[in-house]
Chain A
Amino acid sequence: DTAVSQTPKYLVTQMGNDKSIKCEQNLGHDTMYWYKQDSKKFLKIMFSYNNKELIINETVPNRFSPKSPDKAHLNLHINSLELGDSAVYFCASSPRVASGAEQYFGPGTRLTVT
């Protein structure tokens, strides 16, 4: 069973479009995250949810909107896509917030904006 899954794995779209990436974890974790990995492999947190509540919101453009319908799911919707949004987006989860527990990462969604 896949612990943290993301769909789609690849996403190619044109500038100005709106797209969504979905994430699901079957680990029973309370906390979920979205990270962005750029072309230089630099990894930066975007958002974090704990039991469906937004607890971390980094300096991310308003075009990015996360939604957590329940604690097992965290989706990322991106409006008006720009070339600079091209990156790999990783979802992750951990048992609880503010702890020493490690995070479990999904396989990533490679977004290419043309």
Chain B
Amino acid sequence: AQSVAQPEDQVNVAEGNPLTVKCTYSVSGNPYLFWYVQYPNRGLQFLLKYITGDNLVKGSYGFEAEFNKSQTSFHLKKPSALVSDSALYFCAVRDAIAGTASKLTFGTGTQLKVEL
């Protein structure tokens, strides 16, 4: 069974500082990895994904993530945090070879708080 772990319930960072939101995963085959962001009382918005190719992927709003196969990690990063980045972030994984029954499994979410 596939799974995603987000070890931090909350991450606090000062505006202008770099931020990292951690994610590790487990799948049988090759992973498709995703990051989504959820603002209060809103649906999830797609940020970025890793399918294949370069391990460093860039996404919306200046976010990027690095796929590390040996550590089974896909940490989300941003060089300089903004107060407006404060939101709930979800990492998700799906098995690339699981066929039509393949489903997206989400982590438990990490609340990012960026303070002035």
A68 to chain B, nearest CB (A): 15
Q: In the complex the two chains form, is B43's CB within 8 Å of A106's CB?
A: yes
Size category, A interface: 20 to 34
Residue A1 is within 8 A (CB to CB) of chain B in the complex:
no
Q: In the complex the two chains form, is B45's CB within 8 Å of A105's CB?
A: yes
Partner of A45, one of B34, B38, B88, B104: B104
A98 to chain B, nearest CB (A): 5
Q: In the complex the two chains form, is B103's CB within 8 Å of A107's CB?
A: no
Instruction: State whether A102 and B34 are in contact (beta carbons under 8 Å apart), knowing that A41-B108, A41-B109, A108-B42 are contacts in the complex.
Output: yes
Query: A4 to B51, alpha carbons, bound, how many Å?
Result: 24
Query: A107 to B42, alpha carbons, bound, how many Å?
Result: 5
Using a Cβ–Cβ cut-off of 8 Å, how many residues does chain B contribute to the interface with A? 27
Which residues A29-68 have CB closer than 8 A to chain B? 40-45, 48, 50, 55-56, 58
Hey, which chain A residues are within 8 Å of B49, CB to CB?
100, 102
Hey, which chain A residues are within 8 Å of B104, CB to CB?
45, 103
Instruction: State whether A43 and B90 are in contact (beta carbons under 8 Å apart), knowing that A48-B103, A105-B45 are contacts in the complex.
Output: yes
Q: Mark B83-116, 1 if CB is under 8 A from A, else 0.
A: 0000010100000101111111110110000000
Hey, which chain A residues are within 8 Å of B41, CB to CB?
108
Q: Give me 13 A-to-B residue pairs in the complex whose CB atoms sit less than 8 angstroms apart, sorted by A's number.
A: A42-B106, A58-B103, A92-B44, A97-B102, A98-B98, A98-B99, A100-B96, A102-B49, A104-B46, A105-B36, A105-B43, A108-B41, A108-B43
B residues contacting A by CB (< 8 A) are 32, 34, 36, 38, 41-46, 49, 51-52, 88, 90, 96, 98-106, 108-109
